[in-house]
Structure 1
Amino acid sequence: MTFAGIDVSKTHLDLALVSNSPKPTRLRFPNSPEGRQALLAALAHHNPAWVALEPTSAYHLPLLKLLAENRLQVALVNPYHLAAFRKAKGERQKTDRQDALLLARYAQVYHEDLRAYTLPPETLRELKALVGYREDLAGRERTILNQMEAAEWAGSKEVLALLQKELACVKGLLGEVEARIQALLATLPEAEVLMALPGVGPQVAAAVLALLPPELWGRAKRAASYAGLIPEREESGKSVERSQLSKKGLPSCGESSTWAPWWRCAMTRRCGPSTTACSRGERERSRRWWPWPTSSSGG
């Protein structure tokens, strides 16, 4: 079988293909609409069993969408797992070409454990974009408040006035984004089930639905691992460290401001669909996607 690895940067795409042949195939394409189509043609020619990608900001998203629409088996590799694989192989060089080859080798070794990426519905993609933008705005708001405090101590009245204008603008955008998120949540039955949990509101529901891939809904252990909420234990001889959360999920789940939503929903497992105040039909629908075990389903 042939396996492909693609390293994505802002300007180009490095493709590596490995098979039973001792020499890998290496190709480079521009990260543009034309370049992505050329890469797709190359993949169609070699017909790999898996295509491995590492999430890189937003530069990989157009390619990921294109590959998913053309029904290729694409796996998004956790950066932590890839770094561990690099260390295990003793790789010392880290270049775009080497990263592409490492991704292809990773797919070749772990192809039985890979999870195929499924393109989420447009509503969920838009929700994820809005949640990310809200995170950026919230971060900017905190920065402005800190700058205002510094300006007050420095007695900079002109700077303080400008910062107040900027803060008002950011707060206005936050309100608009929140309204759009609320409108999207109103169209999702899953959001209604989530918000029926104690302490779970629109922000928590939006974060969970935006960051948890739909293909993991209903798979409690995989969902927890994806979010980095699995316990990590260290033992060596008589030394036993206290267990802690691994926090080794994908980067989008590792932002400090999103830990509360993930943790709160994980800890309210007994308030799953079997105990929410909804109709029997709603409970059955919720069980099909509910990512955590309920009180009746065990651990």
Structure 2
Amino acid sequence: MAMNTQAIQIGIDVAKEELVIYRQDLDQVDSLPNTLPSIRRWLKTLPEHAALAVEATGTYHMPLTEQAHRAGHSVFVIDGYQLKHYRESVRARAKTDPCDARLLARYLAREGDDLRAWTPPPKAYRTLQSLLRRRSKLIQARVALQQSLGQEPSLKAPLKRLVAQINRIDQLIQKRMHQAVRQAGLTEQVARCEAVEGIGPLSACALVMAFLRGDFRNSDAFVAFLGLDVRVRDSGKQVQRRRLSKRGDPEIRRLLHNAAMAARRHPYWANVYQRYRDRGLKTTQALVILARKLARIAFALMKNQTTYQEKAKQACGTT
């Protein structure tokens, strides 16, 4: 849903403790505590159907976006990476909270017709996303501890006990994920994804979670949401190196990369992988292509509610 051009446009810079708000119609900057009571009181002062541009900040912006959406306003969550480059493009000389609030309102006014309003994700999406992100932090901590302390002989025994405890927490998180899948009635969707070579339980949950977030027109849109689409920057005869957009959830991309490495051990995918290597692609490039193909197949299975079959391997589509 595009922005209503007649709506009052508001830019909001979000921090853990405070919201800095710029109302374009009043050319006025205010601030309020980032708490539910203050947010609700402030929303009651707004005209109906206002348009709010909010910078994505982990979880600190969520109370505001949820309450504003519930109050009938259009909320546009702006990626910090996009805002940074927009700031540079308009040659903003300062970066302060009020400046960012003004910049968000300006971005909304100029680009609003091409933005999609935020909508609340399903409960299962939030639960799975939270669990996946917490597991990611847990695994990162485990790896860091093993690398840092593993070479110290006097610490090997306590490190082993600590890693065992971390592994038990990991198992509890995965158990909670499976419970969330069952409670949301997504068991069949996860099974569809798991049937594809290389896609394990965690990767399947991540793909189902991503599929829940939007009504994707096709697999290209799904791949772009995952951040696995290729960014092209060519000019004249100059062809620059292709890079991934990486705009999606990094944990999903990591799991899909692992899935691609696992799929490479199966005969069919080993042949696909080797063909790309023979064309001169590097290992990581070939694995990214495999990950993208796995994502496309999973999307088709979930979209069409079908079971993975041998012929689906031949229908990977373009990379």
Whole-Å separation in 1 of the counterparts to 2:83 and 2:299: 36
Whole-Å separation in 1 of the counterparts to 2:179 and 2:152: 38
User: 1:30 deviation in Å?
Assistant: 0.2
CA RMSD of aligned residues (A): 3.1
**Conservation of the 8 A alpha-carbon contact between 1:270 and 1:295:** no
SS in 2 for 1:27: strand
Sequence identity (%): 24
Cα distance, 1:147–1:25 mapped onto 2, change above 3 Å: same
**Conservation of the 8 A alpha-carbon contact between 1:228 and 1:254:** no
**Are residues 1:266 and 2:292 paired?**
yes
Matching residue's letter, 1:32: T
Q: Who is 2:195 aligned against? A: 196
**Conservation of the 8 A alpha-carbon contact between 1:230 and 1:245:** yes
Q: Who is 1:79 aligned against? A: 80
Q: Who is 2:147 aligned against? A: 146
User: 1:7 deviation in Å?
Assistant: 1.0
Aligned with 1:180 (options 167, 176, 181): 176
**Are residues 1:5 and 2:11 paired?**
yes
**Conservation of the 8 A alpha-carbon contact between 1:216 and 1:222:** no
Q: Who is 1:100 aligned against? A: 101
Residues 200-209 or 5-14, more deviating = 200-209
User: 1:256 deviation in Å?
Assistant: 6.7
User: 1:178 deviation in Å?
Assistant: 0.9
User: 1:56 deviation in Å?
Assistant: 0.9
Aligned with 1:168 (options 164, 181, 205): 164
Residues 103-112 or 222-231, more deviating = 222-231
Q: Who is 1:58 aligned against? A: 59
Whole-Å separation in 1 of the counterparts to 2:252 and 2:190: 21
Q: C-alpha offsets along residues 154-176 of structure 1, whole Å, 9 cap, x if unaligned?
A: xxx1x433322321211110011
Cα distance, 1:34–1:193 mapped onto 2, change above 3 Å: same
What's the TM-score, normalizing by structure 2?
0.75
Whole-Å separation in 2 of the counterparts to 1:213 and 1:4: 29
User: 1:36 deviation in Å?
Assistant: 1.6
Cα distance, 1:174–1:98 mapped onto 2, change above 3 Å: same
Q: C-alpha offsets along residues 87-122 of structure 1, whole Å, 9 cap, x if unaligned?
A: 111112111111111111111111111112111222
**Conservation of the 8 A alpha-carbon contact between 1:82 and 1:103:** yes
SS in 2 for 1:62: helix
Matching residue's letter, 1:34: P
Whole-Å separation in 1 of the counterparts to 2:171 and 2:316: 39
Q: Who is 1:291 aligned against? A: none
**Conservation of the 8 A alpha-carbon contact between 1:75 and 1:116:** yes
Matching residue's letter, 1:267: K
Cα distance, 1:48–1:106 mapped onto 2, change above 3 Å: farther
For structure 1, the residue ranges without an aligned partner over 5 or more in a row are 277-281, 287-293
**Conservation of the 8 A alpha-carbon contact between 1:29 and 1:38:** no
For structure 2, the residue ranges without an aligned partner over 5 or more in a row are 1-5, 261-287, 307-313
User: 1:219 deviation in Å?
Assistant: 4.3
Whole-Å separation in 1 of the counterparts to 2:73 and 2:209: 23
Whole-Å separation in 2 of the counterparts to 1:243 and 1:195: 30
**Conservation of the 8 A alpha-carbon contact between 1:118 and 1:215:** no
Whole-Å separation in 2 of the counterparts to 1:49 and 1:285: 39
